[in-house]
Amino acid sequence: MIVMKFGGTSVEDATAIRRLTAIVRNQIDRQPVVAVSAMGKTTNGLLECARLAAEDNLTEALRKLESIALHHHNTVSQLAPADEVESLKMALEERFDGIRNALHEIAEIGEVSSEYSDTISANGELLSSTVVAAAFRGDGIDGRWFDIRQAMKTNAEFTRAAVDFTATDPLLKDLFAPALAEGGVPVTQGFIGSTGEGRTTTIGRGGSDYSAAIIGAALDAEEIQIWTDVDGIMTTDPGIVPESAKVRIISFAEASELAYFGARVLHPSTLLPAMKNDIPVRVCNSRRHEVEGTAIVRTAPQSRALAKAIAFKRGITIVNVASDRMLMAYGFLAKIFEVFARHETPVDMVATSEVSVSMTLDDTRNLEAILTDLRAFGEVKVETDQALICVVGDRLKYTPGLAAKIFSGLSDINVSMISHGASAINVSFIVDGDEVERAVRALHQTLFEVLDEETFALAN
């Protein structure tokens, strides 16, 4: 059994869904469970409708919603079995009626609460999965629609809910087992779940990949496939370095570092359930299904290149705390990090000296409250519009002269907060946000002079 997750561009219209159907048919003997994202930009569109309703522009919100509804109706008309089209349109319209009612309620309240945000945005996946299951049946595949909310149980932290694995894992097995035993192809949703009381939640933007990994781990899948609109994990962003190469095979540890530090192919949490159960993950291009993609495995062959890939995050904020009280003091850092824990804000990088500590953040929603609390410890300074660059590879720890190699190409770029050692496969540092593209291009030229065919494939 395999899990196949298809992103928004893979289900954006009838043409894309036909490609998806062909991909699934080619692997039908592997008993696929299919999880899908919302069609194209549907989630953004639905949230825009909610925003407009909250701003007392209900007429425009409903008009925009009609455009989304029309696209779904037209797509199902092109793909579903002829004898199902009308009943499916009624089912879709019933869901859109629910959205309309929610928009009226938001307009009356005048704001989009986090729970309403989840209620609205979850419909994108519920709608697209209905269309995809119908497209399967229209092509002779026994597509069976399942509401993942029956099994994906979370806490009530709306817009970024945490999954309750103790409750979820057995429910997922029970949900899909009968259909798989009968030769059916389950079609379900990524991104969404529900509380124990049945209130709809989401597990964060990009959470569809994570959902697929959770399903795969619960069902002990032989492979988890992430189908997107790129050929796989690249040595860096091709938009910045057009000559970047595809990474054919990479370890869980390396891919996790890349995902966390900005590579957009995978959601940062995706690999955790797969790593725990040692399930290979493959990243593939639904528009070029013949391309092999990138395999993510427990242990990957060591490459001749110094690194596997370069990732980066823009919009980084550095918080510096300086205090003479740090000198020879026990527990000072613990107290500082308690502030970030209290405000539920993760820290990416840390650098310390005898009397100061610097930390990087990419989530600044609670920054003002954090700064207020930190000022109790000493002088606090903030630097904004920074970028974090991360070089990842399993050779980094054991290559003499690595630092000289990396930073020789950056001699005219100011670099700060260099970190290596916390992870043996990661060298990270900070540059000014305006310099990130130039720095990435220089690094790529330096680090990927030699590419072995076992690990890399040039883009074609």
Digitized pLDDT (tens) for each residue of the chain, 460 residues in all: 999 999 999 999 999 999 999 999 999 999 999 999 999 899 999 999 999 999 999 999 999 999 999 999 999 999 999 999 999 999 999 999 999 999 999 999 999 999 999 999 999 999 999 999 999 999 999 999 999 999 999 999 999 899 999 999 999 999 999 999 999 999 999 999 999 999 999 997 668 899 999 999 999 999 999 999 889 999 999 899 999 999 999 999 899 888 888 777 777 788 889 999 999 999 999 999 989 999 999 988 888 888 899 999 999 999 999 987 765 567 788 889 999 999 989 998 998 887 889 999 988 999 999 999 999 988 999 999 999 999 999 888 777 777 788 888 898 899 988 887 656 788 999 999 999 999 999 999 999 988 888 999 975 5
Question: Pick from 169, 197, 229: which residue ends a domain?
Answer: 229
Sheet of 249-251: strands edge to edge? Answer: 143-145, 185-189, 32-36, 2-6, 223-228, 281-285, 294-297, 249-251
Q: Do residues 197 and 320 share a domain?
A: no
Q: Do residues 10 and 116 share a domain?
A: yes
Residue 196 placed within a domain: yes
Q: Do residues 59 and 208 share a domain?
A: yes
Enclosing H/E stretch for 372:
helix 367-374
Residue 297 placed within a domain: no
Per-residue pLDDT at 422: 58
Q: Do residues 84 and 172 share a domain?
A: yes
Q: Do residues 352 and 204 share a domain?
A: no
Q: Do residues 184 and 55 share a domain?
A: yes
In the block, tokens 């619960």 appear at 218
Residue 80 placed within a domain: yes
- Hey, what are 73's tokens? 């109706």
Per-residue pLDDT at 430: 95
Residue 323 placed within a domain: yes
Residue 423 placed within a domain: yes
- Hey, what are 225's tokens? 């496939």
Q: Do residues 6 and 152 share a domain?
A: yes
Q: Do residues 223 and 351 share a domain?
A: no
Q: Do residues 70 and 197 share a domain?
A: yes
- Hey, what are 183's tokens? 């030769």
Can you tell me the distance from the alpha carbon of 145 to that of 130, in angstroms, rounded to the nearest whole number? Answer: 6
449: domain CATH number is 3.30.2130.10
Q: Do residues 346 and 202 share a domain?
A: no
In the block, tokens 């492979």 appear at 223
Question: Pick from 202, 229, 256: which residue ends a domain?
Answer: 229
Can you tell me the distance from the alpha carbon of 270 to that of 203, in angstroms, rounded to the nearest whole number? Answer: 11
Helix or strand or coil: residue 227?
strand
Name the pairing type of β-strands 245-247 and 456-458.
antiparallel
Can you tell me the distance from the alpha carbon of 362 to that of 266, in angstroms, rounded to the nearest whole number? Answer: 17
pTM (2 d.p.)? 0.88
User: How many domains is the chain built from?
Assistant: 2
Residue 118 placed within a domain: yes
225: domain CATH number is 3.40.1160.10
Per-residue pLDDT at 460: 55
Residue 248 placed within a domain: no
Question: Pick from 229, 255, 287: which residue ends a domain?
Answer: 229
- Please work out, in degrees rounded to the nearest 5, the angle formed at the alpha carbon of residue 276 by the alpha carbons of 152 and 341: 70
Mention every residue, 6+ apart, whose C-beta is less than 8 A from residue 18: 79, 135, 139
Interhelix angle 367-374/332-342, rounded to 10 degrees, is: 150
Per-residue pLDDT at 328: 56
Region label for 215, one of left (φ > 0), alpha (ψ between -120 and 50) or beta (otherwise): alpha
Q: Do residues 318 and 216 share a domain?
A: no
Residue 158 placed within a domain: yes
Domain interval for residue 388 = 309-458
Q: Do residues 223 and 314 share a domain?
A: no
* Per-residue CA distances from 208 to 7, 49, 85, 226 (Å): 8, 22, 27, 10
